[in-house]
C-alpha cells in the first residue's frame, strides 16, 4: 500500500530559524490549527549551554520564556532522559524506538498512539511523520528560504491539531536528527 498523503486542504508550516544547530540556538516558528482555532502561532527555542564539567541539558522554551521540555544528554551527547511537559524521566530511547518500516523510529505519544519519523532514503536529511502504520501527518525538509520573520534553513509541513503532540514530535525529530548527524560508533549506526 502506498503511503497516505497529507489529507487536509491546508497543512500548516513551521520554520526552523536562527542557528542550524539541532540542540542550540534553533528557533522554531509557525502555526498550528486546533479544533478550537485556526492558525494559532507557536514558537519554540532550543538552548544547550556548554560548560565544562556540567551535565549537558537542552531546554526547549515555548514563547521564549516557558520551559516545556528538557533533554538531559548522557556523557555530553549520548541519549539520556527527557522530560516533556508532565512526562518526567522518559528515556530518550523511547522517543526513537524501532518503527514499522526500515528507516523509521517510533514514539508513543501522550495519547498512547504510535507515531514515527521516517528518514527518507533518497534524501537523508528529510523526514516524514506518520501516525503508525501509514497516515502521514507531516514532513520535514531542509530548504533555505526567506520568510517574513527572517531566514530559515528548514521547514515542517504538518496537520497536527494539538500543541502537546507537536511538541513531542519536534523533540523526537530533534533526537532523530542528532543521532543521524553523528558518525557511526564502531562501524554501527547510532539509534
Query: How much is the pTM?
Result: 0.88
Residue 110 is assigned to a structural domain of this protein: no
Q: What is the pLDDT along the chain (191 residues), one digit of tens a residue?
A: 444 444 455 799 999 998 777 777 899 999 998 888 888 999 999 999 876 666 689 999 999 899 999 999 988 778 999 999 888 889 999 999 999 999 999 999 988 999 999 999 888 899 999 999 999 999 999 999 998 888 999 999 999 999 999 999 999 999 999 999 876 654 445 44
Residue 148 is assigned to a structural domain of this protein: yes
Residue 164 is assigned to a structural domain of this protein: yes
Residue 144 is assigned to a structural domain of this protein: yes
Boundaries of domain holding 78: 12-90+140-181
Q: What is the CB neighbour count within 10 angstroms for residue 50?
A: 9
Residue 115 is assigned to a structural domain of this protein: no
Specify the pLDDT at position 188. 45
Residue 27 is assigned to a structural domain of this protein: yes
Q: What's the total number of domains in the chain? A: 1
Residue 24 is assigned to a structural domain of this protein: yes
Amino acid at each position: 500500500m502506498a503511503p497516505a498523503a497529507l489529507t487536509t486542504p491546508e497543512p500548516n508550516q513551521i520554520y526552523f530559524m536562527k542557528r542550524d544547530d539541532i540542540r542550540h540556538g534553533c528557533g522554531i516558528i509557525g502555526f498550528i490549527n486546533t479544533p478550537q482555532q485556526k492558525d494559532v502561532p507557536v514558537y519554540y527555542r532550543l538552548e544547550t549551554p556548554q560548560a565544562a564539567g556540567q551535565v549537558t541539558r537542552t531546554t526547549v522554551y515555548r514563547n521564549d520564556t516557558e520551559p516545556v521540555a528538557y533533554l538531559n544528554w548522557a556523557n555530553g551527547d549520548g541519549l539520556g532522559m527527557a522530560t516533556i511537559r508532565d512526562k518526567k524521566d522518559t528515556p530518550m530511547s523511547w522517543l526513537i524506538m524501532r518503527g514499522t518500516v526500515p528507516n523509521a523510529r517510533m514514539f508513543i505519544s501522550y495519547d498512547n498512539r504510535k507515531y514515527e519519523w521516517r528518514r527518507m532514503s533518497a534524501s537523508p536529511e528529510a523526514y516524514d511523520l506518520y501516525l503508525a502504520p501509514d497516515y502521514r501527518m507531516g514532513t520535514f525538509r531542509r530548504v533555505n528560504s526567506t520568510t517574513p520573520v527572517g531566514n530559515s534553513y528548514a521547514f515542517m509541513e504538518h496537520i497536527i491539531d494539538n500543541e502537546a503532540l507537536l511538541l513531542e514530535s519536534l523533540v523526537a525529530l530533534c533526537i532523530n536528527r542528532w543521532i543521524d548527524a553523528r558518525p557511526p560508533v564502531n562501524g554501527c549506526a547510532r539509534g
